[in-house]
């Protein structure tokens, strides 16, 4: 998993509440269990004018010019700004896979669905809960200023606006440690590889008939 420390990123505003995981990555794309390749299908039903299916060449598909991801000013954005209850619906981990594969490293919203929120951390995405008034302000500044960027600093747990003003965000020590060090659950387990191998050797020596 890619580690996260600091990010100076372009902001993309998705001004919608209750965005569910089927909108983030529609069900027909869940056939693959690889974590890569989902970025072109992110928000597929909003992003394109035709019906998407796995394996399609998205560069040739007709795009919805009114959808925010298709607007030139937001190309290359790494911070997604959105509204309440982002990531609701099913628990599919493909949703953060698609978001990360597209290039987003941070999501800022007033609230998130619990399972989606947890899955973000497992895939190197930092979900930041900000109060509604600050989110409203960020939307207004993003709309008014082309190239609107924010600086996100995980060690200090702050988000800094172009004006220099900043606000803090909460994160548990465990999740912060994992993001800073690029550790998902597999990575955490492998930190104890020597102990695991030692246990397996003792277990095999004590009960060899189990390994015949």
Tell me: do 121 and 196 sit in the same domain: no
Report yes or no: 99 and 42 within 8 Å, Cβ to Cβ.
yes
Q: What are 116-136's pLDDT values in tens digits? A: 999 999 999 999 999 999 999
DSSP secondary structure, 131-198, as one string: -HHHHHHHHHHHHHSTT-EEEEETTTTEEE-TTS-EEE----HHHHHHHHHT--HHHHHHTTHHHHHH
143 and 195 assigned to the same domain: no
CATH code for the domain in which residue 56 is found = 3.20.19.10
Instruction: State whether 143 and 74 are in the same domain.
Output: yes
Whether 4 is covered by a domain: the verdict is no
Domain count, the chain: 2
- Of the CA atoms within 13 Å of residue 126, those in its CB half-sphere come to 31
Q: Say if residue 139 is in the same domain as residue 206.
A: no
Do residues 188 and 113 share a domain?
no
Q: Which of 92, 117, 104 is nearest to 39 (CA)?
A: 104
Q: Are residues 206 and 103 in the same domain?
A: no
Pick left, alpha or beta for residue 25 (phi over 0 → left; psi -120 to 50 → alpha; otherwise beta).
beta
Are residues 36 and 140 both part of a single domain?
yes
pLDDT of 35: 82
Domain encompassing residue 66: 10-148
Instruction: Report pLDDT digits (tens) over 48-90.
Output: 999 999 999 999 999 999 999 999 999 999 999 999 999 999 9
Nearest to 2 by CA among 62, 65, 72, 78: 78
Same domain, 35 and 126: yes
The answer to whether residue 80 sits within a structural domain is yes
- The reported pTM is 0.89
Tally of residues, the chain: 212
Two tokens, residue 153: 């600093």
**Domain ends where: 148, 172, 200?**
148
Shared-domain flag, residues 115 and 208 = no
């Amino acid at each position: 998993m890619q580690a996260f420390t600091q990010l100076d990123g372009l902001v993309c505003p998705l001004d919608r509440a209750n965005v569910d995981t089927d909108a983030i990555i529609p069900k027909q794309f869940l056939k693959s269990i690889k974590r890569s390749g989902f970025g072109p299908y992110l928000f597929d039903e909003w992003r394109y004018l035709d019906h998407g299916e796995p394996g399609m060449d998205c560069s040739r598909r007709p795009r919805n010019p009114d959808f925010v991801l298709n607007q030139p000013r937001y190309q290359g954005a790494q911070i997604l700004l959105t509204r309440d209850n982002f990531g609701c619906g099913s628990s599919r981990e493909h949703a953060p896979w698609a978001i990360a594969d597209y290039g987003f490293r941070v999501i800022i919203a007033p609230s998130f669905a619990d399972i989606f929120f947890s899955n973000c951390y497992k895939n190197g995405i930092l979900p930041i809960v900000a109060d509604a008034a600050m989110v409203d302000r960020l939307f207004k500044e993003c709309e008014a200023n082309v190239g609107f960027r924010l600086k996100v600093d995980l060690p200090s747990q702050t988000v800094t606006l172009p004006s220099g003003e900043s606000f803090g965000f909460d994160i548990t020590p465990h999740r912060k440690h994992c993001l800073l060090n690029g550790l998902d659950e597999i990575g955490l387990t492998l930190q104890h590889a020597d102990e695991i191998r030692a246990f397996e050797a003792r277990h095999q020596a004590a009960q060899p008939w189990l390994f015949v």
